[in-house]
Amino acid sequence: MSNPIQDKPNTGFWGSLKDSPSTDEFIKGLWRDNPVFVQVLGMCPTLAVSNTAINALAMGLATAFVLLMSNILVSSLRNFIPKQVRIASYILIIATFVTMTDYVIQAISVDLHKALGAFISLIVVNCLILSRAEAFASKNTVGKSVLDALGMGIGFTFALFCLGAVRELLGNGSLFGIPFFPENFQEWIVMILPAGGFFTLAIWLIIFNATKEKRATT
């Protein structure tokens, strides 16, 4: 549950990308502070739509897009938003982009929109996005916030894909709808059911903890 508060804010609009360790802002979201596996944020969509790999990927990308746009807007408005109403303003900004995403997905693929259902709208209350806005974008320059959002977004998508791939592989015997196992493979129905989501995430967390412990001891 680490939530690193960043060092003091840079001044310029884009900040000084060169002399700060900005690659670190990008890398940290991928693995060290992975939003799902390490920070355990944004659980609801993670578990709910990760029953197939394609759903998980679409949900991850939609969330990453909203995260990127809201981080850009929040960080560029960070000097104008009064402290008292900042959370409400962030939620409004996020809700606007989520509504846009909702309509865009509906325009691209009606099937996908049906599969994801209300969970696209529920990106609004994904704690990951609000926590990045509050903990990072409101204190840092636009350039840094973009990198942070990209890293976190890709890390989130990666984690969702890990879950979705395992669940679809075991529960359906396929990956991206393409059959993967021989004919007589017995599907693990439980993996597509809600319970499977809990189990898969628990197992990923255990694997994650185990690797971390191994690295700490060596």
Partner 1 sequence: MKEESLWYIFINASLINNFVLAYFLGICPFLGVSGKMETATKMGGAVTFVMLISSMCAFVIHALLVAINATFLQLISFIVVIASTVQLVEMFIKKMSPALFRALGIFLPLITTNCAILAVALFQTNKGYGFIESLVYALGAGAGFTLALVLMAGLREQLDFADVPGIVKGTALTLLVAGILSLSFMGFAGLGS
Nearer to partner 1, 50 or 172 (CB): 50
- Rounded Cα distance between 79 and 133, Å, is 14
Is residue 125 a contact point for partner 1 (CB under 8 A)? yes
Is residue 112 a contact point for partner 1 (CB under 8 A)? no
Beta carbon of residue 26, minimum distance to partner 1 (angstroms, whole number): 25
What is the DSSP secondary-structure string of 8-75? Answer: SPPSSSS--TTTTTHHHHHHHHHTTT-TTTTS---HHHHHHSTTSHHHHHHHHHHHHHHHHHHHHHHH
Is residue 85 a contact point for partner 1 (CB under 8 A)? no
Is residue 191 a contact point for partner 1 (CB under 8 A)? no
Tell me the window of 88-96, 104-112, 150-158, 166-174 that interacts with partner 1 (CB under 8 A).
88-96
Binding partner 1 by CB under 8 A: which of 17, 27, 30, 43? Answer: 43
Is residue 202 a contact point for partner 1 (CB under 8 A)? yes
CA-closest candidate to residue 35, choices 170, 208, 166: 208
Q: State the DSSP H helix or E strand holding residue 146, giving kind and residue range, or none if neither.
A: helix 142-172
Is residue 199 a contact point for partner 1 (CB under 8 A)? yes
Nearer to partner 1, 147 or 159 (CB): 159
Is residue 95 a contact point for partner 1 (CB under 8 A)? yes
- Rounded Cα distance between 201 and 161, Å, is 11
Nearer to partner 1, 57 or 150 (CB): 57
Beta carbon of residue 159, minimum distance to partner 1 (angstroms, whole number): 13
Tell me the window of 17-25, 56-64, 86-94, 107-115 that interacts with partner 1 (CB under 8 A).
86-94
Nearer to partner 1, 22 or 101 (CB): 101
Q: Are the C-beta atoms of residues 40 and 174 closer than 8 Å to each other?
A: no
Retrieve residue 157's tokens: 């998508």
Quote the crossing angle between the two packed helices 142-172 and 22-30, to the nearest 10°.
Answer: 20
Place of tokens 């989520």: 98
Rule CB under 8 A: which residues touch partner 1?
40-41, 43-44, 47-48, 88, 91-92, 95-96, 98-99, 102-103, 118, 121-122, 124-127, 130, 190, 193-199, 201-203, 205-206, 209-210, 213
